[in-house]
């Protein structure tokens, strides 16, 4: 995740209804790129629905995000994204704690 925050995008469903989402992570699985989003009004601390989309037409002028219809694949991707997001949050929490400790020790000198 970027230190400057996540990207917000507006996605349209098959009926043309637009909704704003926050991009959480991107991963490549078996040679295909997948992206995870949560509704923009939600946060990771809340129980948010993780929306996983496949990048279709990667590297072309017609890149589009499409839904993943295979339930087994979707569950595998969900597990991978959750693991990555949890690890990233843990790393940031650890980093914050270490920074606080460094600040305290530098003030003592």
Counting Cβ atoms within 10 Å, is residue 77 exposed (0-12), middle (13-18) or buried (19+)? buried
Specify the 3-state DSSP secondary structure of 13.
Answer: coil
Would you say the pTM of this structure is higher than 0.75? no
Q: Euclidean distance between the first and final Cα of the chain, in Å?
A: 34
Domains of the chain: which residue ranges?
8-108
SS3 content of the chain, % helix, strand, coil (to 5): 35, 30, 35
pLDDT in tens, the chain (109 residues): 334 455 899 988 889 999 999 999 999 999 999 999 988 887 555 666 889 999 998 888 888 999 999 999 999 999 999 998 787 654 454 444 445 555 554 455 5
Nearest alpha carbon to residue 23 among 12, 44, 8, 11: 8
């Amino acid at each position: 995740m970027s230190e400057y925050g996540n990207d917000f995008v507006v996605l349209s469903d098959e009926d043309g209804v637009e909704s704003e989402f926050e991009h959480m992570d991107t991963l490549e699985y078996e040679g295909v790129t997948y992206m995870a989003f949560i509704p923009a009004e939600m946060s990771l601390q809340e129980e948010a629905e993780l929306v996983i989309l496949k990048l279709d037409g990667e590297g072309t002028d017609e890149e589009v995000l499409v839904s993943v219809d295979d339930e087994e694949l979707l569950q595998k991707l969900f597990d991978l994204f959750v693991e990555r997001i949890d690890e990233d949050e843990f790393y940031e929490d650890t980093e914050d704690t270490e920074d606080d400790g460094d600040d305290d020790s530098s003030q003592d000198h």
